[in-house]
Each structure stands twice: as structure tokens, then as C-alpha cells.
Amino acid sequence: MAQVDEKPSLIDRLDFGIIVPVLLLAIVGMYAIWLASGANLRAIVSQVIWYFVGFLIVAVIMQFDSEQLFKVSPYAYAAGLTLLFLVLIFHDRSLAADTGAMSWFKVGPFTFQPSEVMKPAFILMLGRLTYRHNQLYREHTVRNDSILIAKLILVMLPVAVLLKLQNDFGTMLVFFAILGGAILVSGVTWKILLPVFLTVAVIGTIAILLVSTPNGQGILRQFNFKAYQFERINSWLDPSGDTANNSMQLWQSMKAIGSGELFGRGFGVRVVNVPVQTTDMVFSIIGESFGFVGVICVILTYFYLIFNMVKVAFQTRNAFYSYVSTGVIMMILFHVFENIGMSIDLLPLTGIPLPFISAGGSALLGNMIGVGLILSMKYHHKSYIFSGKGEF
């Protein structure tokens, strides 16, 4: 009698190579929020609630297989665009006055930033478009790939316009990073990629030259660039130039991280006061408390998480999943790179949180949705193999 394979158990279908790093980063985040907030019980409980909600969302998303995610993509994208439009009308006025961005709804004590949950919806839509295009146009020619890039840009355009109207340039950069990742893995020919890369390099060089000189900044002001954006650039170029005002946040962050030296000041020790330390500058808490060794452990945890996300995409051998996982990976990588980079003066300040560590429910939910999408790949991949349904 032929032996019948047992159906994979729930434990076998979970990817602990993704779950464990997220839990470790959550623990680091709870510690950082506890210390930065002065052991504020409300801040800690709020973050615990957001994590609980996030894991519930992960459990729900994991129930969707690739076909269902493919079908729901345009609806999620449309819902995200609707929220981005509505926040322009119903945004919280006090937060807009403080931050300069019309990006948050407020209901009682809770705030919500719709652009954060728009990111995974945008990723799904890019994955759907890329998959359908490559199914229709099997050969990668300049013409075919140009059509694909045009489609992806059309999906990006309304998002960029709405974020521009919100005055949220930092978040817009994340969407451009996701778009760039989608184009890179879509199979676009180098005959297009090389000119695009050179064009971006030239534009980037010109932008840096413009923002680094008074005359150049005068030119950019004519394109509606704001004064606070130039203040961030100036503090990046000269962090010690105005440490009492514009450069204080960056300067204090650098002092805190540097004071940690090799092994840090120790658990629960916080000497250097850094503004916005529970969110944008949370990395400075880790550097001060645990030093170079501690921050390296955190960075390695992120790389381990990304490595396992890449591994799942390869194991499933599903084109749509590959495009989606690339978007999630680019989203998390850009957040990590930008947040840590701005904390140590490698990059200008942009107000981008550190994934799974910074306080804030909207960003956490967006990242947890991304984790749920990746976990659903392995969760349903094994069941498809067992049932003989094959790949989508």
C-alpha cells in the first residue's frame, strides 16, 4: 500500500525565521520606548496594543493565498488612494501645524497615517501589474519593457501627487524605493535600466549641488520647497553649526550614540536628551544603552529578517509572490537605511521611523501587513504542494 503523506502542520507552515526577528525587534522597541518616554506607562501600553492588533492582522492576511491577494490588489490600492485623499480634508490641524504635513487622521487620543498602510497596497498593485504584463509580453524588449514602466509610473503618479499635497516628502521617498525595486526585479532589459540609472544619478548629483549652496536653494524655493526642508539639509551638511536650534535633534542623537562607545552605558541608562526619541531618533537610545555591539546586533537582526524574506520568495517559485516580497523588502530596507543613516548624519533628517522599533501604530501596522504578506507565501506554498494545486 502506498504511503500517504501527512498534511503539513500549522507549525510547519509558519516561518519562524521571520517571526522570531520581528519579536526580537519588538522587544528592543519596547525597551527603547520605555526608556525614552521616562517609563511612561501609557506609551508602553499603547505600543503593546498596536503590536497585538498588528499580529491579528498578520493572522488574517496569512489566510489569503496568492490568487486571493492578486484579486484583492486593485481594491486595496483604491481604498488606499481614497484614504490619502480624505486625509487632505479631514487631517488633524494641530499635527499639521507641528509637522508641516497633512498626513494624520485623529480620533480621540489615537492618530492614524494612511500612507503607511498604503505602502503594502501599493506593493500588491505593482506586483499584480508586473505579473500580468510579463504573462502577456513574454519577451523583454525595449518596447515591451517601456510599456511596463509606463504602467508602473501611472500607478505611482496619483500616490506621488497626493503625498505632495500632504507635504510628506519623506514618505514619498519610500514609495519611490518600492517602485525602483519593482522595476529591478521585473526583468526589464539593461538597455532601459542603464539610461534610467544614469539619469537618476545625474539628477541626484544636481540636487545635492543645489541644496548645498545658497544660490541653489534659492532656485529650489521657486519649486515650492519649504524652509524646514532646507533647515534639515543644512543641519545634515553642518550638524555642529546650529546645535541650539535647527541641528539640535541630529547633534544630540550623534552625542547619544557616540557616548555609548563599544558596550554602551548600560541597561536603563539615559543621559543625553534627544528630541523625538521614541519615534524618529529611537536608534540613539540603542546606541547609548548598548553601544557599538548593541547596534550591530540590531542591524544583524534586520539582515537576518531580510535574508529569510528573500529565501521564502525563492522557495515558493511564484512570480507574483516574488514581486510582492521585493516590494516589502525594499520598504523595510529603505526605512532601516534612512532611519539609521539620519541618526548618525549619513543622510538628511526625513522623519522616517525604524521598523518594528519606533513608537507609532500606523507605521507598525504597515510593516506588519508586509510581514503578513511574506508569511502567507510559505503558509500557502506547502498546502498547495500537498493538495496538488500547483503554483499560481
User: Residue 384 has what pLDDT?
Assistant: 45
> For residue 390, what pLDDT band results from cuts at 50, 70 and 90?
very low
> What average pLDDT does range 138-163 have in this prediction?
94
Torsion angle, CA of 250/252/254/255, rounded to 10 degrees? 160
Residue 171 belongs to a domain? yes
Q: Is residue 36 part of a domain?
A: yes
- In this predicted structure, the answer to whether residue 348 has a pLDDT above a threshold of 90 is no
pTM of the model: 0.91
Residue 197 lies in a domain: yes
- Percent of the chain exceeding pLDDT 90 equals 60
pLDDT at 244 over 50: yes
Select the more confidently predicted residue: 32 or 228. Answer: 32
Check whether 203 has a pLDDT greater than 90: no
- Count the domains in the chain: 1
Domain assignment present for residue 390? The answer is: no
Mean pLDDT within 39-47: 90
pLDDT of residue 6: 60
How many CB atoms are located within 10 Å of the residue 252 CB?
18
Q: What confidence tens digit (pLDDT) does each residue in 82-117 have?
A: 999 999 999 888 888 877 789 999 887 788 999 999
- The answer to whether residue 366 is domain-embedded is yes
Please determine, for residue 9, whether its predicted confidence score (pLDDT) is greater than 80. no
User: Mean pLDDT lowest for which of 161-175, 184-198, 318-332, 372-386?
Assistant: 372-386
Averaged pLDDT for residues 4-29:
84
* CA 180 to each of CA 160, 295, 302, 348, 352: distance values in angstroms, whole numbers, following the listed order: 14, 28, 21, 20, 18
Q: Tell me if 208 is assigned to some domain.
A: yes
Residue 196 pLDDT? 85
Q: Is residue 78 a part of any domain in this protein?
A: yes
In this prediction, residue 391 carries a pLDDT of 47
CA atoms in the 13 A half-sphere facing the CB of 17: 14
Least confident of 52-66, 196-210, 256-270: 196-210
CA gyration radius, the chain: 22
Say whether pLDDT at 1 is over 60: no
pLDDT at 235: 80
Give the pLDDT of residue 382.
Answer: 53
Does the residue 6 lie in any domain? no
Q: If pLDDT is split at 50, 70 and 90, which confidence band does 314 have?
A: confident
Mean pLDDT for the chain overall: 88
Whether the per-residue pLDDT at 268 is higher than 50: the answer is yes
Query: Domain containing 112: what range?
Result: 13-384
